């Protein structure tokens, strides 16, 4: 394990996300975990992503997003701490909306994540697990497939976050439409296009490297 791997493993944000996604540090946090984390941290920096997605991605991987529980502490208003999706779907009890709950435990997020990613990952030889949202793609995939899945994860989480602030439940048909729009533009980039073809998708045209 090189010094860069060690620094990644020592990041508080990294440790928190692994703990929150039901993977406490220890035996499971191996060299593969460092590699997995490094590849996830790269995702927000891809130039072919929209700036608002890159901005979200940076805040997401470094745990800088503020959800209802954080705002409740800042404003000293405990009544606003509840999960937006749990409230909208009338799920009881309404848990506090922190990063752990929103991206790992929320029933609404679990259900729509499984539906979307089970379809997206068909034929890839692995099953989606909700921990992927906070840890990124598993290292059992090739580098190009990890890149594709991590991008998909960041955009998916970005959309969940937008739905949350609009106070609307996420809809699969709208999520798929947004991905189609994003992919049309991302396929103009040769690096993404090569990785997408390796995933098994259909290629696009153009190149804006």
Token readout for 91 is 């799920």
Question: Does some domain include residue 119?
Answer: yes
The pLDDT-based confidence of 30 (bands split at 50, 70, 90) is low
The pLDDT-based confidence of 3 (bands split at 50, 70, 90) is very low
pLDDT higher than 50, residue 122: yes
Cα dihedral sign for 208, 117, 91, 78? negative
Question: Does some domain include residue 208?
Answer: no
Question: Does some domain include residue 205?
Answer: no
Token readout for 120 is 């997206």
Instruction: Please give the model's pTM, rounded to 2 decimal places.
Output: 0.86
163-200 residues labelled b (16+ CB within 10 A) or e (exposed): bbeeeeebeeeebeeebeebbeebbebeebbebbeebe
Cα(178)–Cα(39) distance, integer angstroms: 24
Pick from 121, 177, 174, 176: which is nearest to 146 by CA?
121
Token readout for 174 is 């709208």
Pick from 192, 178, 180, 187: which is nearest to 206 by CA?
187
Question: Does some domain include residue 206?
Answer: no
Question: Domain limits at 194?
Answer: 3-199
pLDDT tens sequence across 31-76: 557 788 889 989 999 999 999 999 999 999 888 899 998 888 888 7
pLDDT tens sequence across 67-101: 998 888 888 787 789 999 999 999 988 999 998 89
Q: How far is CA 66 from CA 26, 74, 79, in A?
A: 28, 10, 16
Question: Does some domain include residue 18?
Answer: yes
The phi and psi torsions of 68 (rounded to 5 degrees) equal -55, -40
* Phi-psi region at 202: left, alpha or beta (left = phi > 0; alpha = psi -120 to 50): beta
pLDDT higher than 80, residue 21: no
pLDDT tens sequence across 142-192: 999 999 999 999 999 999 999 999 999 999 999 999 999 999 999 999 999
Show Cβ contacts of residue 173 under 8 Å, excluding neighbours closer than 6 positions: none
Report how many domains make up the chain.
1
* Phi-psi region at 53: left, alpha or beta (left = phi > 0; alpha = psi -120 to 50): alpha
Question: Does some domain include residue 209?
Answer: no
């Amino acid at each position: 394990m090189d010094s860069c791997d060690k620094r990644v493993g020592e990041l508080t944000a990294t440790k928190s996300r692994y703990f929150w996604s039901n993977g406490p540090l220890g035996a499971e946090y191996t060299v593969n975990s460092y590699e997995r984390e490094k590849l996830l941290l790269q995702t927000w920096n891809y130039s072919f992503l929209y700036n608002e997605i890159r901005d979200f991605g940076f805040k997401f991987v470094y745990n800088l997003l503020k959800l209802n529980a954080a705002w409740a502490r800042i404003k000293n208003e405990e009544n606003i701490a509840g999960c937006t999706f749990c409230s909208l779907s009338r799920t009881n009890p309404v848990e506090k909306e922190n990063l752990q709950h929103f991206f790992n435990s929320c029933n609404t997020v679990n259900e729509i994540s499984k539906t979307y990613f089970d379809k997206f990952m068909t034929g890839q030889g692995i099953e989606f697990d909700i921990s992927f949202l906070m840890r990124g793609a598993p290292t059992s995939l090739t580098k190009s497939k990890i890149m594709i899945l991590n991008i998909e994860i960041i955009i998916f989480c970005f959309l969940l976050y937008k739905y949350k602030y609009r106070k609307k439940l996420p809809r699969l048909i709208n999520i798929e439409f947004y991905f189609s729009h994003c992919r049309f533009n991302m396929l103009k980039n040769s690096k993404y296009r090569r990785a997408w073809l390796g995933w098994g998708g259909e290629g696009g045209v153009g190149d804006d490297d």
